[in-house]
Amino acid sequence: MPSPRPLLALALGLALLLAATPALAADPAPNLSVAAPHVRLLPPSAKNTGAFMVITNRGPRDVKLVKADNPVSRATELHTHVDEDGVKKMRQVPFITVPAGGDAVLAPGGLHVMLIDLLRPLREGEVIAITLSFDDGTRLVIDAPVTRPVAPAPHPK
- Residue numbers of the site for Cu ion (CB under 5 A)? 79, 90, 114
State which residue, 51 or 63, has the beta carbon closest to Cu ion.
51
Residue 45 CB, nearest approach to Cu ion (Å)? 17
CA distance 130 to 77: 12
State which residue, 38 or 79, has the beta carbon closest to Cu ion.
79
Which positions ≥6 away from 39 have C-beta within 8 Å? Answer: 49, 50, 51, 52, 115, 122, 128, 130, 144, 145, 146, 147
Q: Which helix (H) or strand (E) holds 25?
A: helix 5-25
Residue 41 CB, nearest approach to Cu ion (Å)? 16
State which residue, 114 or 140, has the beta carbon closest to Cu ion.
114
Residue 79 CB, nearest approach to Cu ion (Å)? 3
